[in-house]
Amino acid sequence: MPIKLEAVSYVYGENTPYRKEALKGINLTINEGDFVGIIGHTGSGKSTLVQHLNGLLHPSTGRVTINGVDAALKTEEAKLMRHKVGMVFQYPEHQLFEETIAQDIAFGPKNLGFSDTEVAQRVREAMDFVGLDYEMYAERSPFQLSGGQMRRVAIAGVVALNPDYLILDEPSAGLDPFGREEIFQKIMELHEKKGITVVLVSHNMEDISRMANRLIVIDDGQIQLDGKPLDIFMNQREKLQAAGVDVPPVSKLIEYLRQRGLPVSQEVISVDD
């Protein structure tokens, strides 16, 4: 079930002095099973792009399809497809609003009309999955949690919707190293254990190069590079830098590959930073 963008352009503030073409003719297919990293500097169009993936924004021109269905349609079928794509926004903890953690996570599945039993089951599973003990946390206020924990609640709320795709916009922004690690572990698990296709937006090459199997570099509303992270990292460093991406030293990359138990080729080791 791919998500496909065909010649997608998006304009903010059409017919105003603030007109801004944030996406310019994007062609992109996200395949099931991918872990896609999207990187680019602030204002390059990343958020605008990912908001097209679940029909939050509709293209000014061009088309987005989810499993072949136009995501902009108002039909039941299109709605169903959009629900297969879960979205975790920047600073998702700002969207927590219920009195208890369990109620907050239940909000989405309840809205989709699932039975109370099914909702309760999903809440338990989602909490379990993000590592929040049900007995200990279900009835607590989400606002008593640490930043990393609040973000886990927000992610659990999306996981409880059982999405096929999970889109995360800067999920580690503002967290301390421990909180970041927590979140990334969970995202990797969602991908590896639940088989969820992940699209992760970041401006941080380190985060992406350690997780994604495909890297998309966006600059000025256009896709500049699309390929294997290691390949781009090794062979397109100048283009990456030109796109405003902070390129970490190769030694960092080697460290990450080793952490993940992945082989480090001689090609990588011999790069002189």
What is the distance between the terminal CA atoms of the chain, rounded to a whole angstrom? 40
Non-local (6+) Cβ contacts of 211 within 8 A are 35, 37, 184, 187, 188, 191, 198, 200
46, 52, 122, 186: residue in contact with ligand ADP (rule CB under 6 A): 46
- Contact between 20 and ligand ADP by CB under 6 A: the answer reads yes
Q: Does the protein bind ligand ADP through residue 67 (CB under 6 A)? A: no
| 156 is a site residue for ligand ADP (CB under 6 A) | no
CB-nearer residue toward ligand ADP: 13 or 68: 13
Q: Which of these ranges, 12-20, 100-108, 191-199, 226-234, lies near ligand ADP under the rule CB under 6 A? A: 12-20
Q: Between 102 and 240, name the residue whose CB sits nearer to ligand ADP.
A: 240
24 binds ligand ADP (CB under 6 A): no
Confirm or reject binding of residue 9 to ligand ADP (CB under 6 A): no
Q: How far is CA 37 from CA 4, 50, 69, 202, in A?
A: 16, 11, 24, 7
Distance CA 221, CA 223 (A): 7
CA dihedral 82, 163, 8, 28 (to 10 degrees): -150
Burial class (CB in 10 A: 0-12, 13-18, 19+), 75: exposed
- The correct pick among 22, 130, 205, 250 for binding ligand ADP (CB under 6 A) is 22
Comparing C-alpha atoms, which of 84, 77, 16, 90 is closest to residue 48?
A: 90
Among 39-47, 148-156, 189-197, 254-262, the segment contacting ligand ADP (CB under 6 A): 39-47
What's the token pair of residue 194? 């639940």
Count of positions on this chain that bind ligand ADP (CB under 6 A): 12
* Position 7, amino acid: A
Give the x/- contact pattern for ligand ADP in 204-233, rule: CB under 6 A: ------------------------------
The separation between CA 92 and the C-alpha centre of its own chain, rounded to angstroms, equals 12
If the CB atoms of residues 18 and 266 are measured against ligand ADP, the closer one turns out to be 18
Q: Exactly one of 2, 6, 47, 227 binds ligand ADP (CB under 6 A); which one?
A: 47
What is the rounded distance in angstroms from the CA atom of residue 214 to the CA atom of residue 28?
A: 12
Out of 26, 30, 37, 45, the residue judged to bind ligand ADP by CB under 6 A: 45
User: Considering the complex, what minimum distance in angstroms separates the CB of residue 6 from ligand ADP?
Assistant: 19
Q: 256: which 2 tokens?
A: 């990450």
Strand 35-39 and strand 214-219: the pairing is: parallel
Q: Give the residue, chosen from 8, 30, 39, 48, that forms a contact with ligand ADP under the rule CB under 6 A.
A: 48
For binding to ligand ADP (CB under 6 A), which residues are involved?
12-13, 20, 22, 40, 42-48
